[in-house]
Amino acid sequence: MKTDATLFVLIAFFLNADALAQDADTTWVQAYTWEAQNNPETAYDSPGRRWFDFPASDNDSSYQKILMYYNLKCFEDGTAGNLGYACGEWDYLSYSYLFDHTGELDSNLLSHPHWLIDDLTFESDTLILEPVGGIPMDTVRWTYVDYGIVAETATSENSASDGAMDWSELNWLTDENAGGKFQWIWTAEELSAWGWENLSVAGLEFPAMAALENRDAAKWSAHWVETDTLDGFHAGEAAATASIFDADHPGRFIWDTALQWNGLSHLVIECEWSGDSADLDWSAVEGTSAPLQTWQAGTAGEFISFDGNDRLEVAMAWLDSIGEEVTVEFWQRGNAEFQPENNSVCEGINAANQREINIHLPWSNGRVYWDAGYDGGYDRIDQAANPEDYEGKWNHWAFTKDAVAGTMAIHLNGELWHTGSNKDNAFGEMVRFYIGCNANGGNDYRGDVDEFRMWSAALTAETIMAYHAMPVDENHPALNDLEMNLSMDFNPVIGAVGDAEELILHGNAGVKQHEPAQAFFNPGAMPGDQRPALIWWYGEAESMGPVVVDHAHRIPATSIVEWAVEGNGVQVVSVDYGWQLDQNRTITTPDGFLLGSFPIEGEAVVYENDPLEYFSPSFEVIDRYELARFITPYGIGLTLDDDGWTWIFDVSDFAHLLRDSVELQAGNWQELLDMKFAFISGTPPRDVMRMDAFWKGQQNLASFDENITDHVFTPAEGEEMFKLRTRASGHGFGSGNNCGEFCYNTHSVKVDGGLQWSWEVMRECADNPLYPQGGTWIYDRAGWCPGAPVDTKEFELTPLIEGQDEFAVDYDITYDPDGNYRFEGQIVAYGAPNMQYDVEVSQILAPTDDKLESRLNPVCKSPKVVIRNNGSELLTSCSILYGVQGGETMTYNWEGALAFLESVEVELAYDDPILWEGDDEEWLVFEVAVDAPNGSVDEEPRNDRATSRFHRVPTWSYPDLDDNRVIVWTKTNAVPYETSIEIADAGGNVVWERGYSTPNFTHRDTIALSQGCYRVTISDSGDDGQSFWANSDGSGYTRLKKVSGGNFINFEPDFGKFISQAFFFQTNVVSVTEPLAQNGRSVTAFPNPSNGEIKLKMSGFMQGERLTWSCLNLMGQELHSGSLRNAEGQLGLLNLSSLPRGTYALTVFDEFGNRWTEWVQIQ
């Protein structure tokens, strides 16, 4: 692995805003704002893709640096996505893109299959279009028990009748594709009048059904109830059922269990009617009027059942009238095996592929989304739904939009369910509308749909309630606005739903009959409150043996669609439906047990596929450049303060693109984003000539090498220097090596086929300054951490390709079958360096109030800054002036060796007490300036100075300064050996330290400190702090307490790798506190990396001293442990070869709890 700092740079994006407040003039460009996103009417949605005005390209201004300020804070007026948390719950990818509109036109050579069968491509396939015997059927074989009444015990009694009553207006009784359900009540008074106290009711007879042909066309059940009225269907366990009629007595139905009345309950009789081929006369049913004691509903006949990869394509002429208002309504029943999942019940888009209408019912989070109208973005309302609202049962949904009134609404089963206001996007002309998926054929809906209607009006709540459970008739108040009315019935002419012209089924969605048990159409009391006059049969029932009834169900046909090129696209030219040659007809039981199968017979038709090639319409070439990538923090319990947290990205390499009007896309809905750009006047180190962005998007690790190949770059005239920028973040886990998020693998860069750089991608996350977060924020990840930018790598190519007409770069990642990387690659071409001598103050690390440096700020002494050489000459010296405003100004003469664009951290001694003594609420300013690079004149003085604001360390003291004791109060967790604490003085000398060996024990160490500035640091070798929710370490904590009671500080226990606090201790008591002597003891593990056989070299230990050791993984889990004794001249031998490849913590303890930790890598 090369380590030449001129060639390999990890960009320091975490810059200090104040450190960049140089003397140079700065032009600010405000892009996204908190206020624009903090909008409850858009459900606090993503900032989106927007245009912004940047400095003009002809303003004759030069900028030494361009910085992008990326500020996030939690929502104030609502919650992220309306999901209940002020900051978003999850660690989501957030891209910052720039879209360069080149003005050039281009078109793409496209390809489309000549044929699609089942809406899928193929090479060769064989189907049967005209089966022998017509539409092929599967058979479901039902087996019932046939009951009869022992003849000598049979008696009967007629219920009351007022004469003939006409039921023929119940359409579902006579429609061959319909069915329905009745319920009637007979009261306890009526049962008593018949003397049911002493009778065994064996069955009933309904004379109107005497001519039935299908034995199970009517299924009856009896229910005992406590109320004597019906205002809907009674739902409950049946006391008795009768599934078939008595073959010897048509119209008579015998219960499987005799009814025995308890003398109190009322009786509900239910009949599920599934239709019959017999021509029954419903116009003269004997019965009586029974107000409030009847209920009925029909079914809607047939429905379409989507099982995935199905879609209904709707003729666009049907939707031409939709402009400012719309209603989309339908009945649906989601498949409970799959819901909730990402789906679209329907979607319509305009010619720009922008969403005009969309319904997620639901999305995988269980929320229902209604999107309507596009104008730079679509209007949306959404709300969480209960599972019973979208799966397992039929529900009616209606979605309305009135752009003039600015209202959107969702109705569930006729009731208003959710609303939104200020939704004024009208509808553009739609060019594609699909039912059963989104408009691009994805996000398949798996479930049943019926009675799909669209109106060019926003129906009122009253109209929706009145008509949602009935067919559209001439009395509907919005009849003239009905644009589409799909009953989803089977079309025997084509063998599928639709007509294959204006309504085309792609796929193999079946058309099925509604079950009477779930009847929902036209519910209400019987016409005229009619209750039939049944004949009650008494006596002893007996089993007559089994009865088999077969029901035939159509086998869904699959679509066969032929396409042809038409202009710059393809169009459907023919649609047919057929069945696969190897498809069988089956006979099964109702629970799916196969009883037999038979091939579908008919003439076989062979289809040979071939591609259709055509050119897309011309389009403007828009190049996408990724400016930066961020991973949002785990937001549960997180606060980002009123002013947010700011990350600063150096985007100077995009200087030539950040001019005039610029289209950007950034952020997401997890947090509020404020983004601005600072254009700092001055001379850049080198001018950007061109950027080539080539590796883009998501790449699976399994196919990374095949897809990410050599990229050849040809320098243009005036381009003298070159740099490769890459950004790789690994995602996916749960199988194998937990790639790509949590797996260790090697990344490498080749130039012209030669390996130049390689590195291990995993990034330390336990030291993230944004902590604690709500999730597993401490876990190391592949190139990223939650609540932080993704790593960007920069590789200086210039010395490797000097003088070449072209060169090639390649990027490799260790193979793994699982996981993926979001990967970008860019080459930046520059002119020659603009200056020989220029040294810049890049950043002030301390003292500063920058939150990204908060783990080590505030400080006692030793300000720390970063300087960079922007000159072409090797920087060997410069002068640094620094100090706190109002305090002493000091000078440091730096010496070293920095090549062009190399940086170095410089620690500066500072002894003026103004830095640490005084009010810790007071704002102070630190100033630093650099000059005289190599003793020469600095050619760009505008980047020589920087300032930072900061607070002093807190002052801790007793009221009269009469005590100097501090209690280090630590309660250990279950793994105490991971915890260590040290206190160091301002000079870095350790004045107190200790480790711990007793678990779950409270330690109280009282120490005495003289007046001065100190830093206390708590470290955790397991990188999971003293308390973390996602491990088995238990909970611990540390406090620095006063002897007199109360705390100086109570440390956050969920701190990851370490937590540190500097403080000024004020006292009049002087103690003799000597720095702890260094005893010279050490432990070294080698070879490192190794194959698991590790040797330990122990120096400074006593002969025969007993030591214990433990090996932990990165989650802090102990994997191996043991003990050994020090023997002079001998090495300790450990065998860890059984461990998988990875990095481990090897910790050695002496008998006093002191410890030494070595990080070892097993390959």
Q: What is the per-residue pLDDT for 1097?
A: 85
Q: What is the per-residue pLDDT for 9?
A: 31
For residue 44, name the pLDDT band (cuts at 50, 70, 90).
Answer: low
405 located within any domain = yes
Query: Each residue of 821-878: pLDDT tens digit?
Result: 999 999 999 999 999 999 999 999 999 999 999 999 999 988 999 999 999 999 999 9
Does residue 319 sit in the same domain as residue 445? yes
Domain that holds residue 904: 839-930
942 located within any domain = no
Q: Alpha-carbon distance 61 to 928, whole Å?
A: 26
User: What is the tally of structural domains in the chain?
Assistant: 8
Q: What is the per-residue pLDDT for 377?
A: 82
**Mean pLDDT value of segment 226-255:** 94
- At residue 771, does pLDDT exceed 80? yes
- Domain boundary residue among 771, 795, 824? 824
Q: What is the per-residue pLDDT for 2?
A: 27
Assigned token pair, 573: 């030219």
Show Cβ contacts of residue 209 under 8 Å, excluding neighbours closer than 6 positions: 217, 218, 245, 250, 251, 280
Q: Which of helix, strand or coil describes residue 67?
A: strand
Q: Alpha-carbon distance 728 to 822, whole Å?
A: 6
Q: What is the per-residue pLDDT for 1079?
A: 55
**Is the CA virtual torsion 377, 383, 384, 389 positive or negative?**
negative
Asked if 933 contacts 913 with a C-beta cutoff of 8 angstroms, the reply is no
Strands 218-225 and 311-314: unpaired
- Rounded alpha-carbon distances, angstroms, from residue 144 to 129, 594, 748, 923: 36, 18, 71, 88
Q: Alpha-carbon distance 1077 to 17, whole Å?
A: 41
Does residue 592 sit in the same domain as residue 636? no
Does residue 445 sit in the same domain as residue 408? yes
- Rounded alpha-carbon distances, angstroms, from residue 901 to 83, 682, 880, 895: 46, 16, 18, 16
Q: What is the per-residue pLDDT for 490?
A: 94
Q: Alpha-carbon distance 1126 to 528, whole Å?
A: 101
Does residue 926 sit in the same domain as residue 1003? no
Q: Alpha-carbon distance 660 to 103, whole Å?
A: 14
Q: Alpha-carbon distance 1083 to 1110, whole Å?
A: 13
1030 located within any domain = yes
For residue 208, name the pLDDT band (cuts at 50, 70, 90).
Answer: confident
Q: What is the per-residue pLDDT for 45?
A: 67
For residue 1080, name the pLDDT band (cuts at 50, 70, 90).
Answer: low
Beta strands in 932-995 (DSSP E): 945-950, 955-957, 965-971, 979-985, 990-995
Assigned token pair, 1160: 């070892």
Could you identify the residue written with the tokens 């090369």?
A: 2
CATH of the domain at 1010: 2.60.40
Could you identify the residue written with the tokens 């031998």?
A: 1133
Q: Alpha-carbon distance 504 to 308, whole Å?
A: 16
Q: Alpha-carbon distance 939 to 632, whole Å?
A: 40
Does residue 779 sit in the same domain as residue 668? no
CATH of the domain at 702: 2.60.120.230
- At residue 8, does pLDDT exceed 60? no
Does residue 360 sit in the same domain as residue 295? no
- At residue 1127, does pLDDT exceed 90? no
Assigned token pair, 1125: 């004794």
Does residue 591 sit in the same domain as residue 642? no
1119 located within any domain = yes
For residue 37, name the pLDDT band (cuts at 50, 70, 90).
Answer: confident
Query: Each residue of 421-461: pLDDT tens digit?
Result: 999 999 999 999 999 999 999 999 999 999 999 999 999 99
Asked if 947 contacts 850 with a C-beta cutoff of 8 angstroms, the reply is no
Q: What is the per-residue pLDDT for 6?
A: 27
Q: Alpha-carbon distance 934 to 904, whole Å?
A: 16
**Mean pLDDT value of segment 667-683:** 93
The answer to whether the peptide bond before residue 1075 is cis (omega within 30 degrees of 0) is: no
For residue 1151, name the pLDDT band (cuts at 50, 70, 90).
Answer: confident
Query: Each residue of 1040-1076: pLDDT tens digit?
Result: 999 988 999 999 999 999 999 999 999 988 764 444 4
Query: Each residue of 252-288: pLDDT tens digit?
Result: 999 999 999 999 999 999 999 988 777 777 887 889 9
Q: How many CB atoms lie within 10 A of CB 631?
A: 22
Query: Each residue of 984-1027: pLDDT tens digit?
Result: 999 888 999 999 989 999 999 999 999 999 999 999 999 999 99
- At residue 16, does pLDDT exceed 60? no
- At residue 1143, does pLDDT exceed 70? yes
Q: What is the per-residue pLDDT for 22?
A: 47
**Mean pLDDT value of segment 920-940:** 96
Q: Lowest mean pLDDT: which of 7-21, 242-256, 337-351, 933-947? A: 7-21
- At residue 338, does pLDDT exceed 80? yes
**Mean pLDDT value of segment 936-948:** 96
For residue 1100, name the pLDDT band (cuts at 50, 70, 90).
Answer: confident
Residue type, 453: R
Does residue 1123 sit in the same domain as residue 1147? yes
Does residue 656 sit in the same domain as residue 582? no
Does residue 735 sit in the same domain as residue 820? yes
Task: Tell me the DSSP string of 1061-1125.
Answer: EEEEEE-S-----PPPP----EEEEESSSBSSEEEEEEESPPTT-EEEEEEE-TTS-EEEEEEEE
Q: What is the per-residue pLDDT for 165?
A: 82
The answer to whether the peptide bond before residue 1087 is cis (omega within 30 degrees of 0) is: yes
Q: Alpha-carbon distance 999 to 977, whole Å?
A: 8
CATH of the domain at 1108: 2.60.40.1930
Average pLDDT value for the chain: 91
Assign residue 766 a region: left if phi > 0, alpha if psi is -120 to 50, beta otherwise?
alpha
Does residue 481 sit in the same domain as residue 527? no
Does residue 330 sit in the same domain as residue 430? yes
Asked if 299 contacts 521 with a C-beta cutoff of 8 angstroms, the reply is yes
- Rounded alpha-carbon distances, angstroms, from residue 6 to 685, 702, 897, 900, 901: 14, 33, 11, 7, 7
374 located within any domain = yes
Note the maximum CA span of the chain: 127
Query: Each residue of 54-89: pLDDT tens digit?
Result: 999 999 899 999 999 999 999 887 777 667 788 888
19 located within any domain = no
Assign residue 488 a region: left if phi > 0, alpha if psi is -120 to 50, beta otherwise?
left
101 located within any domain = yes
Asked if 565 contacts 200 with a C-beta cutoff of 8 angstroms, the reply is no
Q: Alpha-carbon distance 388 to 482, whole Å?
A: 29
For residue 18, name the pLDDT band (cuts at 50, 70, 90).
Answer: very low
875 located within any domain = yes
In SS3 terms, 152-170 reads as: HHCEEEECCCCCEECCCCC
Q: Alpha-carbon distance 1021 to 1147, whole Å?
A: 9
**Mean pLDDT value of segment 585-590:** 96
Q: Alpha-carbon distance 810 to 709, whole Å?
A: 6
**Is the CA virtual torsion 506, 487, 180, 223 positive or negative?**
positive
660 vs 1071, higher pLDDT:
660
- Domain boundary residue among 633, 658, 684? 684
Q: How many CB atoms lie within 10 A of CB 147?
A: 23
Helix (H) or strand (E) holding 1146: strand 1142-1149
**Mean pLDDT value of segment 513-523:** 91
- Domain boundary residue among 1040, 1066, 1092? 1066
Q: Residue 888 carries which DSSP code?
A: -
For residue 577, name the pLDDT band (cuts at 50, 70, 90).
Answer: very high
269-301 burial, b if ≥16 CB within 10 A, otherwise e? bbbbbbbbeeebeeeebbbbebeebbbbbbbbb
Q: Residue 798 carries which DSSP code?
A: H
CATH of the domain at 456: 2.60.120.200
Q: What is the per-residue pLDDT for 423?
A: 92
Give percent of the chain with pLDDT exceeding 90: 77
Give percent of the chain with pLDDT exceeding 70: 96
